[in-house]
Amino acid sequence: MTQVRNVDPAKILFENNKPVIDDIDTKETLKSACEILQHNDIIAFPTETVYGLAANCQSTDAVQKIYTAKNRPADNPLIIHVSSREMITETLGAEIPPVYEPLIKKFWPGPLTIIIPLPQKSTISPLCTKGQQTFGCRMPAHPVARALIEMSGLALAAPSANASTRPSCTEAKHVLEDLDGRIPLILDGGAANVGVESTVVDGLSSPPKILRPGGVSAEELRKFGGPEWENVISEVNVEVKDSDSVRAPGMKYKHYSPKARVVLLDEDFNSIELKSIGGSPKKIALLRSRLIEASSIERLWPNTKVIVFELGELKSQISHNLFSKFRDADNENVDLIVVEAVDTSDEGMAIMNRLNKAAETHVHAA
């Protein structure tokens, strides 16, 4: 059985990057988690983006347990999480290219992953990089994540702590739903704040590229990254074949999907097309933000129960709630989920990336 233990992020402070923990239970739980990691096993832990599934990135045996627990495709790389810049240079022996300095100054710790060249004699498990000569790295802001990494002394490979293809986990109970019995421990530090994974950027290319949108928007990259990031482009919609190797997770394969079918709707969607695609559902979930009313769905299926889940009106609220509401809809045993599309400005790029990965189809305006 998987054990779930509470940790209190409010009781963790940092002095000179060292955690100071004013709670005996939280301290002892973190020590236990560190011992599990140091013995090359895996645990789930909270970050500000989503819950992560952690292993010592320098142990191939430990990293393999991540792939096994998640049933993750074998060619999908992993992001390395560190608690300090020194962990990159001293523990991993890598160098941070100067192009990232403005972004690191603004967004670390935080939801930004940078692509870094592998050192010549890398100690990172090849299971993390999958044949690439680069690796993704970030410094999480969540106090529990930072403390865990620093106390363990390990750089942690950590994808999202969900079963592969399922919606990412924003609460400990979601991890337990997917991975109960597959991992020894889940640290419960409350709900994730951001709700979608980190933004992954490649500053080694010219112009720089967004490989995966997330908690830092393209607008923020352009604003704070300096001249080299003013023309950052997105590879989000670039078609990636199953045979292609990728530099970041989330660039191929179906992702973020609930058990029910998902259909994405524009405002003033083509109701005839939706009716045709939707078939004869017995129960429908509407994930709405501000434009689409339940009545517009109920008119198409007058004898079908429609359950409304509010995502919020602000994009920050939508990104925070999206994965959790997907799971809530599944728990209601709906067989069709219709969800409202958003524009791609600011957090919208990350939201639409997840929705397009999850959805079977997109019904546009009539």
User: Which residues does the annotation place in the binding site?
Assistant: 49, 72, 76, 81, 134, 138, 158, 160, 168, 198, 212, 256
Per-residue burial over 287-313, b if 16 or more Cβ lie within 10 Å, else e, is bbbeebeeebbeebbeebebeebebbe
How many helices and strands in the chain, by DSSP H and E?
Answer: 12, 18
3-6 vs 185-188, strand pairing mode: parallel
Looking up tokens 């429908």 gives 284
Q: Which residues contact 208 (CB under 8 A, 6 or more apart)?
A: 99, 201, 202, 221, 225, 228, 229, 231, 232, 233
Annotated binding site for L-threonine: 49, 81, 138, 158, 198
Bond preceding residue 167 cis, omega within 30 of 0: no
Q: What is the DSSP letter of 89?
A: I
Provide the token pair at 34: 């560190």
Structure tokens given for 22: 């004013």
> What angle do helix axes 24-38 and 143-152 make, rounded to 10 degrees?
50
**Can you say which residues are annotated as belonging to the binding site for ATP?**
72, 76, 134, 160, 168, 212, 256
Tokens representing residue 144 in the block: 């529990």
User: Dihedral of CA 6/9/15/16: which sign?
Assistant: positive
| Residue 175 three-state SS | helix
- The strand pairing partners of 115, in sequence order, are 136
